[in-house]
Every structure is written in structure tokens, then in C-alpha cells.
Amino acid sequence: MNTETYLKSLIDRLEQTRALSREEWASLIRGRTPGLSEYLFERARTIRIRHYGRDIYIRGLIEFTSWCRNDCYYCGLRKSNHGADRYRLTKEEILSCCENGYHLGFRTFVLQGGEDCWYTDEYMEDLISSIRRAWPDCAITLSLGEKSYESYRRFALAGADRYLLRHETFDEAHYRKLHPPRMSAAHRQQCLRDLKELGYQTGTGFMVGSPYQTPENLADDMLFIKNLNPQMVGIGPFIPHHGTPFAGKPAGTLELTLFLLGLIRLMLPRVLLPATTALGTIAPDGRERGILAGANVVMPNLSPVRVREKYLLYDNKLCTGDEAAESLAQLDARMAAVGYRLVTARGDSLNI
Ligand code: 5AD
């Protein structure tokens, strides 16, 4: 059997059994070709349409603080980046983002921010319960980084339904190349287990093409995700930020990101899979191509316009045009052009 035939048989087996070994994952990722990718995307689209039809769920992203106590080597919000222009939104500003979002058709609000102690647990509980009371038909998603079990529990009791926390990379040695010593892969993974235990619909994920990443690292990421069985998986290419230690590192590619989206769709057929902002940033048609590789979620920006340019995780991050929540009609037109449509539903995962 030649290599291409063997790798195609791995894709078929992945579709049938939803699992591969670490060595198989690494060979498939390392040996991918344009032909295999097309074959994979066709299978991924069929599975996505079987479970979700041609619907694309929308999430309104509210980036409410750009302050962060962490110092991740890749992120523009890292505390050592003194060039970053920092801001915090008040409760009133966040509620008015939700109000605006509700009228635009959003039924999920994602509160995302750096790890910012200014927002105490009491502050967050009050904010979450206010959103819960005002929009009882909406899902509240948090993305606030690593917190204690007790904090996660309090936020859930206040009304939060979902939590996004990318594991970033499973392998401890690789994790340490991307983060300062006070952070660890083990702690991040523990947070994810806590979130699942507390009943959150949980999202994890990783950057594609982060510095020093190998196909074996990606194989470990796939095995970890399979084992965690999250409701959502967010992946996007690493893109350098000029004010970080990784400023000169090469960006991850569209091509590998799309291939991994297709693989994740085959491994977890009912998972929620966003075509992320980073994917839209590295290629003008990145999000459409993400949808055509098996993605089924987009997360437009609902933050106040005056702060959007300040939440700069990486250089040239999209925040206007079709990325903006106000331009849902344009985004819908782009998705319609490739055969899909945006829907207003809350879009809960089918595997809760
Ligand atoms: N390039 C791409 N993604 C990044 N993130 C942070 N910095 C970058 C970067 N330079 C991602 C991380 C984080 C999410 C909010 O953004 O994976 O979890």
C-alpha cells in the first residue's frame, strides 16, 4: 500500500471508529496532501450536515477586559507588553453590549477577558445574574481563564451555562516553551475537568502552528480532546504579535488549521466547531473555508467599537467589517455564497 492509500484508510477508520492511535494521528498530520485534505473535507461536511444541517450558530463576543496577570509568550495581552492599551468595561457597558446583541439576533453572549483580578467573584456573580435575569432565553458563556473550583461553582450558580478555556497544548514540555514557569499544562487540564464536573458545556482548543509544535504534539492534543469530550473545540492559527517574545516566529498556516478542523469533525461528529477570528485574519476567505472543512459556529465581535482595536491578541486581528456584530447581514451573505446560513438559535451542543 502506498502512503497516500494508507493515510486515506486512516481517515476512513477515523470516520467509522472516531479514534486513532497517537502514531496514526502523527502520521496523518505529517503526511497530509491537498488530495487527502479534499477527501477529508468532503467527509467532514457530510457529517456536519447530518447533525447540524447547513445552520451556522452565532455567538456575540464581548471582550470586556484587556488586563491580564499572565505573561504567555505568544499573547499581545501579556502583562509584560507595556505597549498594550488597556481597558475595562463596566457592568453597565457589558449589559448594553448584550442589549445591542439581543436586538441583532444573538442568543449566546460570550464574556471573554484576560485574567483580571479587578473583577472579583462577587462582581462577576452580580454581572452574570443580571444578564441571566434580563435575557433568560440566552446562553451565557464565560472565558476568563484559570479560576478555582469554588469560583467556577459560584459562576455556574449565578447562571453561567458554558465556559471556554483552551488547553493550548497538551504536552507539558511544549506548554513550558509557550508559558512562564508559574503556569502548567496540568493545572489548565485540571480546570477543564473541574468545569465539566460542574456541568458547564465546555470548550477547549489550541493554537495551530504555535512555536516548537510538532505533529506528535498535535496527536496528543487530539487524544486529549477525545478523552475530555468537550462540547466545543476552538482552534486557530498562531499569529505573531509584535510586542511579544514570539514576534519573529512564523504564523501557523490556513492549510494545517483546515485539515485539523476536518479531523476534529470526524473524531467528534456533534461538537461545536468555530471558524475563528484568527482563521479569518490569516486569509480573506478563511472563515468560509473553515465552514467548508466542517466548522459550524462563528463568533462576531459585540464589544463597544472604541475598545475593539485594543483587544489585540496578535497583529492585524480582525475586528471590523464582517467580523463586527453589526454586519451580520454581510456575514450571512458570505456564508450563503458557500451554501450555509446564520441562525438565531442558542445553538446548544447536541452532546450535553
Ligand atoms: N495567535 C493566535 N491565537 C492566540 N491566542 C492568544 N494569542 C494568540 C496568538 N498570538 C489565543 C489563545 C487563547 C485565545 C483567547 O486566543 O489560544 O486561548
Q: How far is the CA of 117 from the centre of ligand 1 (A)?
A: 20
Instruction: Give nearest CA residue, ligand 1 atom 2.
Output: 238
Q: How far is the CA of 3 from the centre of ligand 1 (A)?
A: 34
Look at 320 and 185; give whichever has higher pLDDT: 185
Q: Binning pLDDT at 50, 70 and 90, where does residue 12 land?
A: very high
Check residue 121 and give its pLDDT: 98
Q: Binning pLDDT at 50, 70 and 90, where does residue 285 land?
A: very high
* Average pLDDT of the chain, as a whole number: 96
Check residue 126 and give its pLDDT: 98
Paired with 258 in beta bridges are: none
User: Is the confidence at residue 352, as pLDDT, over 60?
Assistant: no
Q: How many CA atoms lie within 13 A of 122 on its CB side?
A: 0
Q: Binning pLDDT at 50, 70 and 90, where does residue 320 land?
A: confident
> pLDDT digit string (tens) for 192-242?
999 999 999 999 999 999 999 999 999 999 999 999 999 999 999 999 999
Mutating to test ligand 1, I would choose from 232, 246, 301, 313 the residue with most ligand atoms within 8 A of its C-beta, which is: 313
The percentage of residues in the chain with a pLDDT greater than 90, rounded to a whole number, is 93
Instruction: Give nearest CA residue, ligand 1 atom 13.
Output: 166
Give the single-character DSSP code of 327. G
Q: How far is the CA of 75 from the centre of ligand 1 (A)?
A: 6
Q: Which residues contact 186 (CB under 8 A, 6 or more apart)?
A: 172
Q: How far is the CA of 309 from the centre of ligand 1 (A)?
A: 15
Q: Binning pLDDT at 50, 70 and 90, where does residue 172 land?
A: very high
User: Is the confidence at residue 345, as pLDDT, over 90?
Assistant: no
DSSP helix/strand/coil, 254: helix
Q: Enumerate domains of the chain plus CATH numbers.
A: 35-343 (3.20.20.70)
Ligand 1 atom with the shortest distance to the CA of 314? 10
Check residue 351 and give its pLDDT: 65
Q: Are strands 55-58 and 297-298 parallel, antiparallel or unpaired?
A: parallel
Q: Is the whole model's pTM more than 0.85, yes or no? A: yes
Check residue 322 and give its pLDDT: 67
Give the single-character DSSP code of 234. E
Question: Quick one: which of 295, 294, 208, 292 has its CA closest to 254?
Answer: 208
Mutating to test ligand 1, I would choose from 71, 189, 192, 207 the residue with most ligand atoms within 8 A of its C-beta, which is: 207
Ligand 1 atom with the shortest distance to the CA of 112? 15
Ligand 1 atom with the shortest distance to the CA of 240? 10
Question: Quick one: which of 260, 252, 314, 261 has its CA closest to 291?
Answer: 261
Pocket of ligand 1 (CB under 6 A): 74-75, 166, 168, 207, 236, 238-239, 241, 278, 313-314
Q: How far is the CA of 13 from the centre of ligand 1 (A)?
A: 32
Q: If you average pLDDT over residues 103-111, what whole number do you get?
A: 96
Tell me the angle at which helices 121-134 and 149-158 cross, rounded to the nearest 10 degrees.
20
The percentage of residues in the chain with a pLDDT greater than 70, rounded to a whole number, is 99
CB 266 within 8 A of CB 290: no
Q: If you average pLDDT over residues 330-348, what whole number do you get?
A: 94
User: Is the confidence at residue 90, as pLDDT, over 80?
Assistant: yes
Check residue 324 and give its pLDDT: 76
Check residue 60 and give its pLDDT: 97
User: Is the confidence at residue 171, as pLDDT, over 70?
Assistant: yes
Check residue 326 and give its pLDDT: 73
Q: How far is the CA of 139 from the centre of ligand 1 (A)?
A: 23
Instruction: Give nearest CA residue, ligand 1 atom 14.
Output: 166
